[in-house]
Chain A
Amino acid sequence: MTEPIDERLRSELQQHGVWVTSMQELYNWGRKNSIWPLQFGLACCAIEMIATAASRYDIARFGGEIFRPSPRQADLMIVAGTVTKKMAPQIVRLYNQMADPKYVIAMGACAISGGPFKQGYNVLKGIDRYIPVDVYIPGCPPRPEALLHAFMELQRKIDSQKLSGADKAEHLKPEQPSEFPVPLFGEHDLESSANPGVFHPPEIERA
């Protein structure tokens, strides 16, 4: 992990049947090709998520077919659908129960920002107010190909994560929280609607 090997030397060695790799590459290669998503659907997008797992789009080609119903066994949470204020605390709880390293895909307009239901009184304006999101996919609902694209983006992200050094992955830094506060039902709205650890509300510039 100290000195990166020369790429040409490595490919030449590969032709002779010798594979040279670093611990970090091997580790990330294993992680990115067996992502276990949490089997967890919220609304319309969940049906497209099932279609992605079904035979035609077949997320198994990317090593993500093992949908686990228990958050303890899952690496990836696909927030597929509208998050309501009643559901948001459960989602944060599920996220907190997942073991590190964990990743989140916000699937669809509703999970990103509230989508078409944003004006409603009961819909959360984006799940990234409560938990950190790695990949956003727009669409209402996104096509299965879009979900596969998000999955590949996540694989790229996992592949580029470093195991040591100053710029190592977030989940390896001890000061980085692994759990986030579960929002409570306040008098008018969910409390901690702006979670300073994750979400910074945009500052509006007024002339």
Chain B
Amino acid sequence: MSATVQTLEAIERPPVSMGSRLEGELLEVSMGPQHPSTHGVFRMNVALEGEVVRKLKPVFGYLHRNHEKLGENMSYLGSMPYTDRLDYFCSMTNNWAYALSVEKLAGIKVPERAEYLRVILAELTRLQNHASLLGFLLNDMGAWGTPLMYAFREREKILDLFESLSGSRMMCDYMRFGGCRCDTPPGWMERAKQIVDRFPHFIDDLEQLVVGNEVVIGRTQNVGILSPDLAINAGIAGPMLRASGVNYDIRKVDGYGFYPRFKFRIPLGEHGDTYDRLMMRVLEMRESLSILKQAFEQIQPGPIMNPKVKIRAFRPPVGEAYGRIEGPKGELGFYLISDGGQNPYRYRVRPPSFVNLTVLEDLCLGHTVADVMVILGSVDIVMGEVDR
């Protein structure tokens, strides 16, 4: 018996684009509102050609909680706990943005220690938001569980700090017009310093897992490219804008709070793809750590509340104000019109997640349906803020 060597003949593979095979046949799929990777109750109607996305229409409103209307029927202070529930990952920055716009409206000064505390809390919020975002993003990519567990382990440490300061893990309701609600408990600063000192280990671990990982690179590089022109025209803000290479950070542009007193760099992306958006969060966490270290050195004891502000029956003068901050997800702004009464006449939120979500179709077109989840994860949405 003579052995015969069989050679495999070249198989005719379908063309990569799949376009020629299923010409004209679109399959409409409704993804969500109950879907493990839609980050809440978000729904997308996707028209697929084979596996390639040809159309994508987002459907909002499954978590519309009448935030703005409630704000207009409530005293200024009464809206503060509601801002916690806008973007429920970052209650501290939401509080700050709202306090900032009311302070602008009424011309209130904030004591020095309170400003430092606000910076510290905002940067801690940024750390935990970015950490959990990366966990969720890797979760969506198929790394089921493990990165999210790592991220939530770090998040819990920061939530403990928030809890000992404000009494609540997530819904802090900590800032007030003209300062903060209460001073730090004894030993809080030391614990915060410890956590900040140990945080780089987590980022190093995460970078080792992510940066060179072949699967992550394959799934994210050249996927969902956002051009700088489109980003500016669509009003994108935050890490997503900077991942496209546009140097615009409200911490630098407006210089609100005490940010001009700190030295920090703004990381910028080159390609605007999902990988850049992912790395942007990692780099921003490192810059946040440097801001936190400077703030711990500079903060001094002192009053944390402006004593002239009347908390009860607070009536700002007639006028309007727009206060904005660089939230972890982008530009978070509150627009208030006062008619001199106890309630705002108009209360409008400029949510970063919602505006960043508007380009989702442009990012997803031409990619496979599996990439949609990864792109959506890199946009970093929270439905409480999108639907309000």
Contacts and interface: CB of A to CB of B under 8 A. Distances in A.
Nearest to B36: A69
A56 B70 contact: no
B88 interface: yes
A42 B63 contact: yes
Interface stretch (B146-154, B201-209, B279-287, B373-381): B146-154
B295 interface: no
Contacts of A31: none
A55 B69 contact: no
Nearest to B35: A69
A21 interface: no
A117 B70 contact: yes
Interface in B23-75: 33-36, 40-41, 61-66, 69-70, 73
Contacts of B383: 43
Interface string A32-58: 000000011111101110110011100
Nearest to A71: B34
Given A44-B384, A94-B34, A116 B170 contact: no
B156 A44 contact: no
B40 A46 contact: yes
Nearest to B60: A86
B169 interface: yes
Contacts of A82: 63, 65
Contact of B170 (A44, A56, A120, A122): A44
B82 A116 contact: yes
A188 B148 CA distance: 42
A117 B66 contact: yes
Nearest to A41: B40
Contacts of A113: none
Interface in A88-106: 90, 94
A121 interface: yes
24 contacts: A40-B34, A41-B40, A42-B40, A43-B40, A43-B41, A43-B63, A43-B85, A44-B85, A44-B170, A44-B171, A47-B89, A51-B156, A54-B152, A56-B153, A69-B35, A87-B62, A90-B62, A94-B34, A116-B85, A117-B70, A119-B70, A120-B66, A122-B64, A141-B171
In order of increasing CB-CB distance, the 8 nearest A-B pairs are A120-B66, A54-B152, A44-B88, A69-B36, A117-B65, A87-B62, A55-B149, A56-B156
Given A50-B152, A84-B61, A120-B69, 17 more contacts: A43-B65, A43-B384, A44-B384, A47-B170, A51-B155, A54-B153, A54-B156, A55-B153, A71-B34, A82-B63, A94-B34, A120-B65, A120-B66, A121-B66, A121-B69, A140-B171, A141-B170
